[in-house]
Amino acid sequence: MNGGIWTMCVSLEEEEASILSRVGFPSQPTCTNYLADSDYDEPRADWQHRMQNLSISCALVCLIVLGSAALVGAFGVCKHQISAVLITGVMYLLA
């Protein structure tokens, strides 16, 4: 099997697929798309779904970086650790 974020594909040779069909496994399409593939399910195009997923993941990463920077910064201020405060500044710049 191989795939990405939005698709999963089965990579079987023809002989392996015929053995599976003889055993009783139903023959399915080789690739599955996780996004809506018909027009009546969702009016938006696939690229809009991908962009939405990417923007959500970027926002979550920014929130994680900001939250961890706040924790490291609070530790640095409370324990008077200059290296933790410098790391906090770098993390804020990354977010």
* Residue range 43-84, pLDDT digits in tens: 667 778 788 888 999 999 999 999 999 999 999 999 999 999
Residue 80's SS3 state is coil
* Containing structural domain, residue 62: 44-95
Sequence-ordered list of residues with C-beta below 8 angstroms from that of 75, at least 6 positions apart, any chain: 81, 84
- Count up the domains in the chain and report the number: 2
What does pTM read for this prediction? Answer: 0.54
Angle between helices 46-78 and 82-94 (to 10 degrees): 160
Return contacts of 23-26, CB within 8 angstroms, 24+ apart: none
61 and 88 belong to one structural domain: yes
* Residue range 9-48, pLDDT digits in tens: 888 888 888 888 888 888 777 788 777 666 555 566 777 8
pLDDT value of position 94:
84
95 and 52 belong to one structural domain: yes
pLDDT value of position 42:
58
Torsion of CA 77, 83, 89, 62, to 10 degrees: -90
